[in-house]
Amino acid sequence: GAVVSQHPSRVICKSGTSVKIECRSLDFQATTMFWYRQFPKKSLMLMATSNEGSKATYEQGVEKDKFLINHASLTLSTLTVTSAHPEDSSFYICSARQLGEGTGELFFGEGSRLTVL
């Protein structure tokens, strides 16, 4: 299947700093990328949907100014957690849909574990 890479896999930061997480589709072009947040032993919560070259669509309750999403190319989307606080500590996972691929199959990155001290 298609490969989605996320970086970094783990990040620890101090409260008040900003952290950027990258999501790359390695062997395909992704029209749409999705960012999810996962709490311990919980399912995935969709945060936002990003389309290349346009503004991301955020789910209800997700702060646009705190979670900045940029989808600058067909292979890269970034999530920046601004002014991070301990409650932002979580597992963030991205997924991507392949350009022109009709099945709608989702491919996921390995996830990024954010710990805010």
Partner 1 sequence: KQEVTQIPAALSVPEGENLVLNCSFTDSAIYNLQWFRQDPGKGLTSLLLIQSSQREQTSGRLNASLDKSSGRSTLYIAASQPGDSATYLCAGRFGAYKYIFGTGTRLKVLA
At closest approach, how far in Å is the CB of 49 from partner 1? 5
Q: Provide DSSP, 29-77.
A: -EEEEEEEEE-TT--EEEEEEEETTSPPEEPTT--TTTEEEEEEETTEE
Instruction: Identify whether the C-beta of residue 19 lies closer than 8 Å to the C-beta of residue 114.
Output: yes
Q: Between 6 and 78, whose beta carbon lies closer to partner 1? A: 6
- Choose one: 12-20, 43-51, 62-70, 76-84; the region binding partner 1 (CB under 8 A): 43-51
Judged by the rule CB under 8 A, the positions of this chain that interact with partner 1 are 1, 4, 6, 32, 34, 41-44, 46, 49, 91, 93, 95, 97, 103-111, 113
